[in-house]
Structure 1
Amino acid sequence: MKSKYACDMRGMLSFHMLWLLARKSMHGEEIAQEIGKRRGGKPAAGTIYPALKDLKNKNLIKGQKKGKIIIYSLTPEGRKTVKYALEYFCRCFGDIFKNR
C-alpha cells in the first residue's frame, strides 16, 4: 500500500533504476521493491517494465534471461550515464542535504 507521504518522483524513475543497477544487477521485481522501500510505495509492473524497456532501447542496460526471470545490468554506456547523472544531481541538489 502506498504511503500518504510517498513522494511522486515522476521523471526520476530512470535515474533511480540506473542508480540501483550501478550497485548490483537485479530483476524487475527486485528493482520495484527497492524503489518502494525508498519512496514509500512500490511502483507497478506497468511502470517498471516499460521503463526497463526504454533503458534497454537506449543501450543503457542489458538483460540476461535466467530461467523465467531477466536479470538487468548496466552497459558501459549506462555506467557513463549514471556517473554523469549523479554528478549533475549532486550539483543541482547537493546543498539541500548539507544542513539536514
Structure 2
Amino acid sequence: MTPPVFAHGNLRLYLLSLLAEQPRHGYELITALSDRFGGTYSPSAGTIYPRLAKLEEEGLVTKSTDGRKTVYEITDAGRAELAAREPELAGIEDEVTDSVRRLADEVRSEVSSAMKSLRADLASAARDARRSGTTTRASDSVTSETNRAVRDADVAINEFRQQLRTDLRLQAARGGVTDANVNLLRQRLVELRTEFVDSLPTKD
C-alpha cells in the first residue's frame, strides 16, 4: 500500500522526476524509490507498473524494449508537467524529510530514557553498597571499587549515547531510519538493561 506521503497523484509525479534524471526500467524505478527513502518505502511492481502505463497513456512517458527489459523515458510533455508542478515535488521531499526526522527523534528519546534508567540502577546499587558498608578497611575497599565501577559505567553510557546520536543524525540525513529500527533498538535496550541488572550482586 502506498504510504501517506504519497497522496493522490504524488507517486506519479515522483516517478516523472526519476525518469527526468535518466531512462529507467521498472525495477530500477523501484530501487531508486527505495534508495531515496532510505528503505522506509519500497513499492511493489503492482504499484509502479499501472502508474507507468497511465503516464504512457497520457503521453508523459514512452517505453522501448532493451532485450528483455522495458525502458521508460520521459517525454517533452512529461518534462513540462514536472516543471509546472515543481513546488508539489519539493513539498513531497519535505514531508519525507520530516518523517525521517520524527523517527530519528523517537530513537533518541528511547535511548535517552533507557540510559537514564540504567544510570538510576547503577546509582541505586552504589547507595546499597554504601549503606551496607562497615568501617573496616576491607569494606571501604569494596565501596571504593563500587563507586569507581559506577563512574566507569556512567562514562560508558554517555559515550554510547553520544556515538549513537551521531550515527542517528548521519543516517537520518540519508533517510535511513525506520520504525523497525526503532523497535529493534527498544527491544535490545530492554534486553541489555535486564541482563545488566541480573548480573549485579545481590544482598545475602
Whether 1:19 and 2:14 are equivalent positions in the alignment is: no
Q: Tell me by how many angstroms 1:89 deviates.
A: 4.3
Alignment partner, residue 36 of structure 1: 34
What is the DSSP-based 3-state SS (H/G/I as helix, E as strand, rest coil) of the residue aligned with 1:34?
A: helix
Identity rate of aligned residues, in percent? 28
1:69 equivalent in alignment to 2:69: yes
Quick one: distance in 2 between partners of 1:89 and 1:44? 21
Q: TM-score when scaled to structure 1?
A: 0.78
Counterpart CA distance in 2 for 1:82 and 1:50 is 19
- Matching residue of 1:4: none
Bigger relative contact order, structure 1 or 2 (CA pairs below 8 A, ≥6 apart): 1
SS at match of 1:65: strand
Q: How many residues align?
A: 90
Cα distance change on mapping 1:89 and 1:42 into 2, 3 Å: closer
**Deviation of 1:88 (Å):** 4.7
Aligned to 2:194: none
CA distance in 1, matches of 2:21, 2:55: 16
Q: CA deviation digits over 1:11-66, x for unaligned, max 9? A: 21101100001111100110011111223121000000001000000000000111
Question: Does the aligned pair in 1 maintain the 2:19–2:72 contact within 8 Å?
Answer: yes
Give the Å deviation of 1:72.
Answer: 0.6
Q: Secondary structure at the match of 1:80?
A: helix
More strand by share: 1
More helix by share: 2
**TM-score, normalisation: structure 2:** 0.40
- Which ranges in structure 2 are unaligned for 5 or more consecutive residues? 96-204
Deviations 1:58-86 (A, max 9, x none): 00000011111111111110110111111
State how far apart, in whole Å, the 1-side matches of 2:60 and 2:17 are: 12
Equivalent in the alignment of 1:10: 7
The residue type equivalent to 1:74 in the other structure is I
